[in-house]
Copies of this chain bind each other. A is one copy, B any other.
Amino acid sequence: MNTLQVKLGSRSYPIYIGCDLLGMTELYVRHIKGKQVLIVTNETVAPLYLDTVLGQLKAYKPTQVVLPDGEQYKSLNVLNQIFDTLLANKFGRSATLVALGGGVIGDMGGFAAACYQRGIPFIQIPTTLLAQVDSSVGGKTGVNHPLGKNMIGAFYQPQCVIADTNVFDTLDDRQLSAGLAEVIKYGLIRDTEFFGWLEDNMDALLARDKKALSYAIERSCINKAEVVAEDETESGVRATLNLGHTFGHAIETGMGYGEYLHGEAVAIGTCQAADLSRRKGWLTDSNVERIIALFKKARLPVNPPGELSPGQFLELMSVDKKNVDGEIRLILLKAIGEATLPIGVDEKLLQSTLESYSR
């Protein structure tokens, strides 16, 4: 097991990475203060891992909430089901919420913990690659709104993150690829060497080689932890983690939550951001080809859905947390391994990218 520390002063916490962690009672117990525990999970994950987690926590007689699976359920209404359960069982401020699942469960469980009685402790147990390398690290919690993804939420840090690499034994191929999109992102925004490593080791990752996966998770988490430690609430460099996300969120919202996995939408969006970076004169044609090739190798889509017109993209992109006073701002690439801070973009250039990608 490797332990990685996210350094945030009084809100610092460890990420445990390794195999067989779900069965280590000690990992949970050291982060639970009170006597009440609620496990939030979903219908896909519950049959796979709930019993194992319950086994470690039986001293607390945990209560459970099993939610439907999918991005379309990351809503204020479903969030309220968690509050219903907490209140029906008279949970207090010293209770601990355990979020067992992928990004949706982590984001929603974390947000429930942030808001319940104005904040209770929570533990993240990410069960997808995407959640292990991205959503469960850094304290971004929240739910979607019909008009925009992740528009309602809080910065709220967990007590710890338990990333058990055994979950890859049950993760389906599509979910594995979706996670790789965010892994590739770390290479693109700040780690050229890692990008090269990913080009060389993509086959091993897709073959679920445990050693390769562990390395990719660790290196991703190290990158993320450094960025988050520098800028917890995204007033600066943290926004670079959003490479491809403005395009990606537009796809997720525009196509209906759940149609595209988050990682799939981010893969497409990153290719769009790369195209725009080329038009700005920053990336070369061959840079862009390398990027697209790596996403393709990871079995990810690289072209936006034909259903979304450039006009619809622009409309959807006009709701984004990086925008300022209504102006669209994007993360672009100066090079492979170097991202810009959010910048306003000439509308004609943006239009060209959107048109070259529309069918």
Contact = CB atoms under 8 A, between A and B. Distances in A.
A115 B154 contact: yes
Contacts of A118: 140, 142, 153-155, 233-234, 321
A204 interface: no
B114 A325 contact: no
B116 A151 contact: yes
A38 B155 CA distance: 22
A151 B117 contact: yes
Nearest to A323: B92
Q: How many copies does the complex hold?
A: 2
A148 B233 CA distance: 30
Given A152-B115, A154-B118, A154-B119, A88 B34 contact: no
Interface residues of A, number: 40
Contacts of A34: 324-325
A88 B315 CA distance: 11
B323 A155 contact: no
Contact of A319 (B90, B153, B234): B90
A80 interface: yes
B152 A94 contact: no
A83 interface: yes
Interface string A307-346: 0000000000011111111100000000000000000000
Interface of A: 34-36, 76, 80, 83-84, 87-88, 90, 92-94, 114-119, 140, 142, 145, 147-148, 151-155, 233-234, 318-326
Given A92-B323, A115-B153, A118-B155, 17 more contacts: A35-B326, A83-B145, A83-B152, A84-B147, A87-B145, A87-B319, A90-B319, A90-B326, A92-B324, A92-B325, A92-B326, A94-B325, A115-B115, A116-B152, A117-B321, A118-B140, A119-B155
